[in-house]
A = this chain, B = another copy of it.
């Protein structure tokens, strides 16, 4: 990966690196959802959700399709769902390390 690609990749990752946005991706893995369904299910305000969806859309992580007065959101790239598996494993290890301070971080 060259430097310029790393800049773009960092932006894509940054778009995922937020609890609500991760939640959106996770929920959409199960299939399309309305904006209202998303903010209801994830427990945030409508405004908040609208802004987060825009960020995800910008990085082409989700696509948005208009149908009448509503918008349906879906995943653009199911490939990234692998990340949740990695993350689950990592969280187990991470919490494990945290307990035992088995890592050479000084805190």
Contact = CB atoms under 8 A, between A and B. Distances in A.
A56 B14 CA distance: 15
Copies of the protein in its oligomer: 2
Chain A interface main SS type: helix
Interface of A: 1, 3, 5-14, 16-19, 22-23, 26, 54, 57-60, 63-66, 76-77, 79-80, 82-84, 86-91, 93-94, 97, 103-105, 107
30 contacts: A1-B23, A1-B26, A1-B84, A1-B87, A3-B19, A6-B26, A7-B19, A9-B22, A9-B87, A11-B17, A12-B87, A13-B13, A13-B83, A14-B14, A17-B17, A57-B103, A57-B104, A59-B94, A60-B94, A60-B105, A63-B104, A64-B105, A76-B103, A77-B89, A77-B93, A79-B86, A79-B89, A80-B86, A82-B82, A82-B86
